[in-house]
Amino acid sequence: MAQIVKRSYKYRFHPTPGQAFELARTFGCVRLVYNKALDERTRAYTMEGRRVSYAESSARLTEWKKTPALAFLGEVSSVPLQQTLRHLQVGFANFFAKRAKYPTFKSRKKSRVSAEYTRSAFRWRDGQLTLAKMDAPLTIVWSRPLPEGAEPSMVTVSKDAAGRWFVSILVEEKIAPLVPVGQSVGVDAGITALATLSTGEKIVNPKHEKADRKKLAKAQRSLARKEKGSANRDKARQKVARLHARIADRRRDFLHKLTTRLVRENQAVVIEDLAVRNMVQNGKLARAISDASWRELRSMLEYKAAWYGRGLVVIDRWFPSSRLCSACGTIQQSMPLGVRTWECSCGVLHDRDVNAARNILAAGLADR
């Protein structure tokens, strides 16, 4: 049965000079309101032991707009300012529920800035999007169409460190589950092979960051030599940012293609619960682990499996998938990382990663 899900479609767009100015001013006001509200909440919490509500922060925003020093807050759309207060409220709720760290201030030099517009702050007509306080629609590069008949419920405009403008359009979409298949797969995440499947297939790690490492290092050295505050330093910073953006784009594209394929071809996908945060503390492997982006791989598998009616099973991180013989069930006492093939006492010769993927699949299917 088809389900209705909220799905975001992200596109590049090219603002006019007037639109770029208005958005830059909105970004600055969003940051200012967030930081002032956070400051007041922090003082109330530390000095009075009192929690400030969203309603109280919203009332304070109204007061700020009436002061001469902050009257300019009334010149931009009020919706992105209210939305940033809502995000701050969620941040504090997560902090008090011990799901996240204490909210931090937004930096002026933050690489990515954004503003969020709800339905009352934009106009969607004949496939054109016009934001509040603007007299012309955005020039969007429609790299793929929105679902037929979709009506945007929220729009997020952002600018990354490389100077690229993006608009993310949230719509409700009806997604039908995929036709059931009889195949399931276990996935062992790695560095040399990004993913080894229980079928024996190994997905080679493209190592996007490593491929551009020399260019990136050269650009970063050039940036370090530039005088702070100079136009040349800003140009060098943008060059570094463009390289980082290209690496991230290639990595994300590869992961999307891989996860879509795994979800389409298998009724259930079984993975390990990897403690990535702890693993990147290993100085020798941190860079390679970050480049592999296992956390993003799992995130994509989670929401795509939910969309298309597939199962995603996550087994315990302490399961001895590498040390367990998938043929006879014998567990080896130790298995150093350097050991890539090993022979069990039952006489079976194992490829370490393929054996682990088969054990992961078996453990996952046993838990279902």
What positions carry a catalytic annotation?
Answer: 188, 272, 353
- Between CA 316 and CA 327, with CA 321 as vertex, the angle to 5 degrees is 135
Backbone angles phi, psi at 350, to 5 degrees: -110, 140
Angstrom distance (rounded) from CA 219 to CA 87: 35
182-206 b/e (C-beta count within 10 Å ≥ 16 → b):
eebbbbbbbeebbbbbbeeebbebb
Look up residue 124 and give its two tokens.
Answer: 């969607």
Q: Which residues of the chain form beta strands (DSSP E)?
A: 3-12, 113-118, 122-125, 128-131, 154-159, 165-175, 184-189, 193-197, 202-204, 268-272, 311-315, 341-343, 349-351
Is residue 356 packed enough to be buried (19+ CB in 10 Å), middle (13-18) or exposed (0-12)?
buried
Angstrom distance (rounded) from CA 278 to CA 265: 32
In order, the DSSP letters of 266-290 are -SEEEEE---HHHHTT-TTTHHHHH
Report DSSP state, residue 121. Answer: G
